[in-house]
Amino acid sequence: MSTTTATALGFIYPDHAAEDDYPLAERLLREAGTDVTLRVEHIYGTDLHAVPELLDLGSPDKLAHGASLLASSHPAAVIWACTSGSFVYGTGGAPGQVEGLAEAAGTAASSTSYAFVHAAQSLGITKVAVAASYPDDVARLFVEFLAAAGIEVVRMSSAGIDTAAEVGTLAPDQVLDLATSNDHADAQALLIPDTAMHTIGGLPRLESTLGKPVLTANQVTIWEALRLAGITAVQPALGTLFQERPHHDDVRS
């Protein structure tokens, strides 16, 4: 009798806020026939949405420590599951951050910021609205990061929430209100860029209300890990990004 072992995917998650999105996504993926284990390990720092704190949170030493915590599961890919702690490094520093993580982890690696870029590319999306939880100065760095990848932000809003812990307390109706209040008619998709926000359970409602794809931080982070591991997963409960469509040949690594 043969047995199969689930493919492990590793996520380095900062502090605690919405990490329970990952076991929920794992259950949904397994229900759809994708045999994966989503392993989450935590690193810690000040959870302020402020540039100096975010630079420290995504530092090489912290990410190497996160990679060491994941090593025993031999993940097929490791993702730095933090949007602001990756885009804050800008296009000059974000590639090196990922390269350093890949070296520390000994496997393919990426970050949530790059996951957003690759997910948009896979859907052929070039114009987006951004509904950010961050203060304005931090949110604008995400706009710059997207622009450098050829993604135009036609509307950007910032909720001005100072800490990840507070973002993690937002209820589904509050997340929906954030999305509907900050969409734009010219946007092909709405992006919600904070892994501290619970969104996995609300994706169908978000997309049906807005009538367009919604890309959220934990969703694209999981998709990016699957992509790097060479796994194509179809699970409509996880949004348009996980619906069956042609292979992602247009994604530029």
CB 135 within 8 A of CB 77: no
Enumerate residues 6+ apart whose C-beta is below 8 A from 10.
39, 41, 67, 70, 73, 75, 77, 78, 79, 105, 107, 225
Q: Is the pLDDT of residue 13 over 70?
A: yes
* CA gap 59, 75 in Å, rounded: 21
Pair 43, 67: CB distance under 8 Å: no
Average pLDDT of the segment spanning 27-46: 95
Distance, in Å, from the CA atom of 105 to the CA atom of 10, rounded to the nearest integer, reads 10
- The model's pLDDT over 139-188, given as tens digits with 9 standing for 90+, comes to 999 999 999 999 999 999 888 888 888 899 999 999 999 999 999 999 99
pTM of the complete model? 0.94
| Measured distance CA(216)–CA(128) in Å, rounded | 12
* 7-242, CATH topology level: Rossmann fold (3.40.50)
> Is 111 within 8 Å of 98 (Cβ atoms)?
yes
Query: What is the rounded average pLDDT for all residues in the chain?
Result: 93
pLDDT at 3 over 50: no
Per-domain residue ranges for the chain? 7-242
Q: pLDDT: is 44 or 5 the higher one?
A: 44
Q: Cβ distance 213 to 239 under 8 Å?
A: yes
Q: What's residue 245's pLDDT?
A: 64
Closest CA to 105 of 137, 64, 150: 64
**Lowest mean per-residue pLDDT among 15-29, 34-48, 209-223:** 34-48
Token pair recorded at residue 123: 């859907």
pLDDT digits (tens, 9 = 90+) for 113-151: 999 999 999 999 999 999 999 999 999 999 999 999 999
Locate all alpha helices (DSSP H) within 75-171, ordered by sequence.
Answer: 84-87, 90-105, 112-122, 136-148, 164-167
Instruction: Supply angle C-alpha 11, 193, 117, rounded to 5.
Output: 80
